Chain A
Amino acid sequence: MKHATAAAKFVANDERSHWHDKALWFVREKRDRMAHSVPEWELLRDTAAAIKAYTMTHLAELLEQFEENATKMGATVHWAKDAAEHNEIVHGLLRDHDVKKLVKSKSMLTEECHLNPFLEKHGIEVTDTDLGEWLVQLRNEPPSHIVMPAIHIKKEEVGELFHRVLGTEEGASDPPYLAEAARTALRQKFMEADAGLTGVNFAIAETGGIVVCTNEGNADLGVSLPKLHIASMGIEKLIPKAEHLGVLLRLLARSATGQPITTYSSHFHGPRPDGELHIILVDNGRSKLLASDEFHRSLNCIRCGACMNTCPVYRRTGGHSYGTTVPGPIGSILAPSRDAEEHSTLPYACSLCGSCTDVCPVKIDLHHQLLTWRKEIAAQGYVSLDKTVPMKLASTVFRRPWLYRFAGRIARTVVPWMPRFMLYNPLNVWGRRRELPEFPKESFQQAYARRQKNSGKGE
């Protein structure tokens, strides 16, 4: 579906669209306060960009190093070339360990792989334990944000949902009350789980360890009770050395939610003494993206979500209007590299304001890449007629000064007299939510010439 079509549904509710906008701007402001409190913020961003650049130009050897060291620590490393293979590996592990109930902490990779429906089909009960993620799971919808999955849901809606599912008081919408109800229900899930699955924020090649960051403590609870811990990670999550975490952990939470660090930043080196740790390295299109001269830098993303929180289009249209696992500016770069035709409208869901580039902690040139995608999508022929026809027309006019002057004169004379239906009709998408400005009597050139004449020679 076109972004504009999906977005129209969201913005039709004007109050909700503005509420959503404000909620994200609040997070953006918290991020600003945190960034400004660190004097070496720009040095951190430069260093983080250099760490990721080093990683991407040494990725194969770092992956091998990671595999060797993780294995030494007692973990088992698996490789999956695509989503299907990843899901098969997870299912195989769960089957071998006779797992009926799995608790998951937030993992955008498993969303990308559509792991939940796959496992449920095989009779495994999957519970997403991050509160926001659990909310969207109970509502049977995808997350609308990578860090705040339920940012689009109002507390009254959570109240209704919990009343239905957990039997909380009807009409209750007090966040502490609702969160307490979720805590009680999810504690039970943690206690009953046969295995825990987490995503990975960073994997350290030098030590063979993985780092998982949460605020709720759900990842740690989920993998410290059962004996089986499965960690799913995209191959781009690697970093060369542990000391690089000093830079990346200083940036991640400050950029994401305006916290100085997440509550828990857990480092797993091997399994528990009596447990098993399986790490699945997933490609699923990443090596293809690495090969792209234009878009490989999007692999540097550490998934903080700052580009979404600041994006004027994301804030007003909501994450679901992108129709992808990762929405917003970074999602609009990643998605077309999977399927340019399907996601051809996403690079246009952008005003090219460049705010995303300004806040990105690893300095991805997001808005440049979005602009490049537009060229690419045009070259591949996926731009719709309502964009190509006016552009061709404009190009014809702008290349001919005489035609430009003539068209201007005609427009100034005729348009003010034209009836509304001729100007604002389904053919004119531009006029859907906009009014034309009042037409001046003379062109800029005429006004300029007159001004020059009046002031004598002029300057």
Chain B
Amino acid sequence: MSSRDTVLKAIRKSQREATPMPTMEQDWLRFDDPIEQFTKVLESVGGKCVQVGSRSEINDRLAEFPQFESANVRTSSIEGVGLPTVSVDTIDDPHNVENVDFAVLPGNFAVAENGAVWVTDEALKHRVLHFIAQHLALVVPAKNVVNNMHEAYKQLSFENRRFGTFISGPSKTADIEQSLVIGAHGPRSHVVFLVDDES
């Protein structure tokens, strides 16, 4: 018998009486002002939130960040935003994006309760950019801020082969004596632009 059948047979032999599937339709936590909550939580996990009227304001606001100003290699997958110095889509091997200092990428929606933004590799050749860039900026429509993770999963379907992740703040570690260090392996800084006039 294959290991697959051995394992499944052992499980079936000891399977207990079925319990019901719980409902996810509950009165979950909501906020009066989800954007305010998102901003607060994102700051508590080491990130920063900047609300702008339109995309065209983002470059000016980016200029306020020293890590953006001093970035030698910049990339962006958002038209007209982030003053890119390289187009990563022309690079074939993901190892070759290792030198990116600052990446500007889109996020689909944000979650107020935990400061997370959902990003995918849709229309992005190298998903590693989210993790390998020294600094990361995400651009999210301000109307796409959901209250909680239950609302978040209502937005998501996983019908296609795809990578997606919730990112909440910059990469971090507390493995040396519980002392929080920002910038473990991934981005050392993390800013989310919430754009008012985007649909």
A247 within 8 A of B: yes
- Mostly, the B contact residues are loop
CA distance A204 to B6 in the complex (A): 22
- State how many residues of chain B have any CB contact under 8 Å with chain A: 76
B152/A191 in contact, CB under 8 A: no
Those of A112-153 within 8 Å (CB) of chain B: 129-132, 135, 148-151, 153
CA distance A77 to B18 in the complex (A): 26
For A405, what are the chain B residues with a Cβ–Cβ distance below 8 Å? Answer: none
- State how many residues of chain A have any CB contact under 8 Å with chain B: 92
Distance between A19 CB and nearest chain B CB, rounded to angstroms: 9
Those of B41-68 within 8 Å (CB) of chain A: 41, 44-45
For A217, what are the chain B residues with a Cβ–Cβ distance below 8 Å? Answer: 131, 171, 184-187
CA distance A367 to B41 in the complex (A): 34
Among B22, B163, B175, B183, point to the contact of A267 (Cβ < 8 A).
B163
A207 within 8 A of B: yes
Quick one: which of B6, B7, B152 has the most chain A CB within 10 A? Answer: B7
Given contacts A73-B161, A217-B131, contact A264 B179 (CB under 8 A): no
Given contacts A40-B27, A246-B150, A263-B45, contact A81 B3 (CB under 8 A): yes
B15/A220 in contact, CB under 8 A: no
Distance between B98 CB and nearest chain A CB, rounded to angstroms: 6
For A158, what are the chain B residues with a Cβ–Cβ distance below 8 Å? Answer: 176-177
A132/B175 in contact, CB under 8 A: yes
Given contacts A57-B19, A261-B166, contact A85 B3 (CB under 8 A): yes
Among A79, A259, A271, A281, point to the contact of B45 (Cβ < 8 A).
A259
B10/A183 in contact, CB under 8 A: no
CA distance A234 to B128 in the complex (A): 27
Among B24, B26, B114, point to the contact of A244 (Cβ < 8 A).
B24
B12/A220 in contact, CB under 8 A: no
A216/B185 in contact, CB under 8 A: yes
B3/A80 in contact, CB under 8 A: yes
Among B4, B28, B115, B185, point to the contact of A187 (Cβ < 8 A).
B185
For A64, what are the chain B residues with a Cβ–Cβ distance below 8 Å? Answer: 8
Question: What does the 1/0 interface line of B125-142 toward A look like (CB < 8 Å)?
Answer: 011101110000000000
CA distance A176 to B27 in the complex (A): 42
CA distance A281 to B174 in the complex (A): 30
B residues in contact (CB < 8 Å) with A: 2-4, 6-8, 10-22, 24, 26-29, 41, 44-45, 94-95, 98, 111, 113-116, 126-128, 130-132, 148-150, 152-154, 156, 158-179, 181, 183-187
**28 A-B Cβ contacts within 8 A?**
A40-B29, A57-B16, A58-B15, A59-B15, A79-B7, A80-B3, A132-B173, A154-B177, A155-B177, A175-B176, A175-B177, A216-B184, A217-B185, A221-B132, A249-B149, A259-B168, A260-B45, A261-B114, A261-B115, A261-B166, A267-B163, A269-B162, A269-B163, A270-B161, A272-B127, A290-B10, A290-B14, A296-B14
Beyond A63-B7, A220-B186, A261-B114, 15 additional contacts (C-beta under 8 Å) are A59-B15, A81-B7, A178-B176, A216-B173, A220-B130, A221-B186, A245-B149, A260-B115, A261-B149, A263-B167, A264-B186, A265-B165, A266-B163, A267-B165, A287-B10
